[in-house]
Structure 1
């Protein structure tokens, strides 16, 4: 009997449980996309180098650097104005340099003398840019540390001006050091802005009381103004007064106090004008009361207006100014804006004004981002200093204001003015480099919440 093999039944595969679909949660783009590889920070340095690095970070106050468009707007406008200034100093001073070389008894290199003002201004521009870049690396702590020593140095220099200073055009405002001269009132502007911001930041809410707002800002700041006034420089004293007023305004001082300070300031300026024959003559020339006299005090302002008018829309061309041929006194200094208008026309003057406007707008954009009152007060004071001085100079050249001898920032000839003006911009850049991110306004937050509720 043959047995047939039995077939084993095919085993059915084991049933696997069907996976239950889990409810997916919405993931953001940052969660779904693979993130960057985490790089471990380098180990902290030890020894003397490590201590120096930690001290530098402490003085900076923040390691986070968020340079934005405002940073490059401030830097670009500053460098553009400085370049325009160097070009116009070369153009406006060439005639005076040629006349100086022709009248010299000793044989001189005429080519070197023609470029003398330009070479000096370029040297101070390089020095100012270096100071600007160095100060742009500092933080609020470092500026607060420099406030009191800076004010002390400014007072000492202003006292030295009255003792060993050199008088030019009735103003004793320079200290001669070899072939170079220093104008201590220029570093005093930056020192005063730093000091006012430091003092008012410590008072904070107490500034609402006028007694705390005025003390010690007005007594010690008044010492700086008094020393400058004793040297006979009313124009610089007005700019210093604007810096103090701006610091009090951005600190939140009561508005009624500014009315009283304005009345006192106008009365002081009026008294200083009456006590000085040169100032009273300039005021009369501005009012057109003595233009027919033999001295012709209206000559400078009239020639400045002629230069602006002859420039027309597009100007007569760079280097082609006619009024600079000994028609406008101080053509490369206080009245350099008139030479810009003659050689580049209305378009050139508008470019300069727009660059100052860009500087002001960018500074305000940075200051509004900060909640630290020290930063706001300091940036506001520097902005009022630079823009206010530019307004006074342009108003002086166009006849809106009397001639008070205030240079145009970044553009007029003057080593001390250019160096410390660029240093002040370095302070602005220091805060623009660390500008905090924008905080949404309450209205924007409410509207975004309403939109999120409406969307399913």
Structure 2
């Protein structure tokens, strides 16, 4: 007769399916396994590490979204709503501002009315591509962007090098590559690549970024190479925006202010030197200062001011602008803000400015909630890029800055600018969709 030892009871053995034994089934273990190792319920019976099994779908979502983050709705939908509103306004204004030039082009061509809305249709296609890119990038996480940082940088260097070899020159700037019917501006893609690359490099340095040598290398030489390649194509406006992105990345990384001040002084001196040695840029500065308007250098800026003045409070009505009738050259591009002011008045311009302000505030909220340096640097760099470029364009149209050829984000005509600006917003959305929970306050 077999007796059970005192103080212990025999427990019935658990039956498990072959799938559970192989580690692929969905059945949960409800007691000690057959080896008698006493692992707790719900633990992985194959690794012996006590790690809870995660289904493949959840592992995939964690790979995309990261872990330990709670969902948030306000910042995500605020950024998305402001971006889509600005894009819709941009499409509407491109249609209004470009219709006159499109009609004039159609009158002299065999296509006739088919080309009347040519620029609007092209901008609409780029907007659709940009929205797809935005939604796609919003599903990625920090680890994917870190992995793409260096490849994006090297691709940017190659593209900018190709511009100098086979690029197309427009209005004195060699900054475009033409492939068949599509003309692209690689420097717009490089802006996004810079923001991600700067963040990947600086976030790895941690507290060392407070030392000037760690803040300097490799950010300044690497970013300087991209800036020099763009400057070789004589696009000073894009160079200024790229310099703003570099300074923003260093600022959000925690570099000393004295280092940033010295870098800003050097960059300003370089921009001033580039303006002096170029007759085209020096003439624009003379026109801005009203030193020489005898050869028509002031006509574009004066027409922009006339458009804003004639708009009054509520504007003359959509499509009713008079300055777009060849008074403002390429009114659908750099000076489209003047057409907004003429057709929708002061109220319309304030709506556009308010949408950029809403986008800025929501981005700052996301930046401040995250503690990951990589995310904060990326968000801060993109914020300065988009909002800073909008400020430069509006200041240019209103006469606060000389005309330097910087488009208004989301609104000015330009497929490359619109597509990659929307893609940059997708990066912001990827961090706004899931942000860390706020720390509980002490009672």
Q: TM-score, length-normalised on structure 2? A: 0.86
Distance in 1 (alpha carbons) for counterparts of 2:422 and 2:438: 27
Q: How many residues align?
A: 393
Specify the alignment match of 1:83 in structure 2: 88
Distance verdict in 2 for CA 1:148–1:52, change over 3 Å: farther
The 5 A counterparts of 1:28-427 are: 54=59, 57-62=62-67, 64=69, 66-104=71-109, 107-110=110-113, 112-291=114-293, 293=294, 295-427=295-427
Distance in 2 (alpha carbons) for counterparts of 1:59 and 1:108: 47
1:342-368 deviations in Å (ceiling 9; x for gaps)? 000000000000000000000011111
* Alpha-carbon offset, residue 155 of structure 1: 0.7
Please state whether the residue corresponding to 1:323 is helix, strand or coil: coil
Distance in 1 (alpha carbons) for counterparts of 2:70 and 2:178: 41
1:407-448 deviations in Å (ceiling 9; x for gaps)? 0000000000000000000000000111112225xxx53xx3
Distance in 1 (alpha carbons) for counterparts of 2:147 and 2:222: 18
* Alpha-carbon offset, residue 258 of structure 1: 1.6
Please state whether the residue corresponding to 1:327 is helix, strand or coil: coil
1:319-347 deviations in Å (ceiling 9; x for gaps)? 00000000001200000000000000000
Tell me, which stretches of 5 or more residues in structure 1 are unaligned?
A: 1-39, 45-49, 449-456
Q: Tell me, yes or no, if the aligned pair for 2:69 and 2:437 is still in contact at 8 Å.
A: no
The 5 A counterparts of 1:424-439 are: 424-439=424-439
Q: Tell me, yes or no, if the aligned pair for 2:68 and 2:436 is still in contact at 8 Å.
A: no
Please state whether the residue corresponding to 1:175 is helix, strand or coil: strand
Specify the alignment match of 2:22 in structure 1: none
Please state whether the residue corresponding to 1:174 is helix, strand or coil: strand
1:213-248 deviations in Å (ceiling 9; x for gaps)? 011000010000000000110000000000000000
Distance in 2 (alpha carbons) for counterparts of 1:247 and 1:229: 20
* Alpha-carbon offset, residue 52 of structure 1: 8.4
Please state whether the residue corresponding to 2:71 is helix, strand or coil: coil
Distance in 1 (alpha carbons) for counterparts of 2:214 and 2:68: 34
Please state whether the residue corresponding to 2:416 is helix, strand or coil: helix
Please state whether the residue corresponding to 2:175 is helix, strand or coil: strand
Distance in 2 (alpha carbons) for counterparts of 1:190 and 1:419: 11
1:158-182 deviations in Å (ceiling 9; x for gaps)? 0000000000000001000111101
Distance in 1 (alpha carbons) for counterparts of 2:217 and 2:207: 14
Distance in 2 (alpha carbons) for counterparts of 1:413 and 1:285: 24
Distance in 2 (alpha carbons) for counterparts of 1:92 and 1:63: 48
Distance in 2 (alpha carbons) for counterparts of 1:122 and 1:402: 30
Distance in 2 (alpha carbons) for counterparts of 1:155 and 1:56: 33
Give the root-mean-square deviation of aligned CA atoms. Answer: 1.7
Work out which of the two has the higher radius of gyration on C-alpha atoms and give 1 or 2.
Answer: 1
Distance in 2 (alpha carbons) for counterparts of 1:101 and 1:239: 35
Distance in 2 (alpha carbons) for counterparts of 1:51 and 1:183: 40
Distance in 1 (alpha carbons) for counterparts of 2:389 and 2:184: 19
Q: Tell me, yes or no, if the aligned pair for 1:57 and 1:63 is still in contact at 8 Å.
A: no
Distance in 1 (alpha carbons) for counterparts of 2:329 and 2:287: 15
* Alpha-carbon offset, residue 58 of structure 1: 2.5
Tell me, which stretches of 5 or more residues in structure 2 are unaligned?
A: 1-27, 29-43, 45-54
Please state whether the residue corresponding to 1:173 is helix, strand or coil: strand
Distance in 2 (alpha carbons) for counterparts of 1:152 and 1:327: 42
Q: Tell me, yes or no, if the aligned pair for 1:166 and 1:172 is still in contact at 8 Å.
A: yes
Q: Tell me, yes or no, if the aligned pair for 2:69 and 2:436 is still in contact at 8 Å.
A: no
Distance in 1 (alpha carbons) for counterparts of 2:188 and 2:196: 13
Distance in 2 (alpha carbons) for counterparts of 1:53 and 1:275: 59
Q: TM-score, length-normalised on structure 1? A: 0.84
Please state whether the residue corresponding to 2:435 is helix, strand or coil: coil
Larger mean Cα displacement after TM superposition, 307-316 or 266-275: 266-275
Distance in 2 (alpha carbons) for counterparts of 1:113 and 1:58: 46
* Alpha-carbon offset, residue 109 of structure 1: 2.9
